[in-house]
Amino acid sequence: MTYISKEEKNAKAILLRALGKQYGVKLTVARRHHSTIELNIAAGKIDFFSEYQGEKGFYGENYLSVNTFYIDEHFTGESKDFLIQAHNILNAGNHNNSDIMTDYFDVGFYVDINIGNFKKPYQLTA
């Protein structure tokens, strides 16, 4: 059963805020449905969209839901460095014993990373 406690989320939030301060990024960390830890990046000095190499798709230039399996391939430069470090912090203590061939999913918890959101786009600050 997937589960992340409030204490685990709070411990990761402290590390993520320090990382955000280092890179000049405003962010929030949330726990959704007791099974997902979510990093929401609201504003900062990193230009995620110009360093994004994936398909723009539906979201365009103001919101992006990061595919955490393809950070290495979809991002370059400072955005890639930040997202890899953030993903490592978010995934610390997690496990993934899933076997998709037999439709068996066993993870400790899920990880979501969002840049901006539908109602409030990411703000690039100088």
Question: Does pLDDT of 126 surpass 90?
Answer: no
Q: What 3-state DSSP class applies to 61? A: coil
Q: At residue 88, what are phi and psi to the nearest 5 degrees? A: -65, -40
Residue 43 pLDDT grade (very low, low, confident, very high; cuts 50, 70, 90): very high
Of 65, 68, 70, 63, which Cα lies nearest the Cα of 87? 68
- Cα 26 from chain centroid (whole Å): 13
User: In this structure, is the dihedral angle defined by the CA atoms of residues 88, 90, 94 and 97, taken in order, positive or negative?
Assistant: negative
Residue 20 pLDDT grade (very low, low, confident, very high; cuts 50, 70, 90): very high
Question: Does pLDDT of 26 surpass 90?
Answer: yes
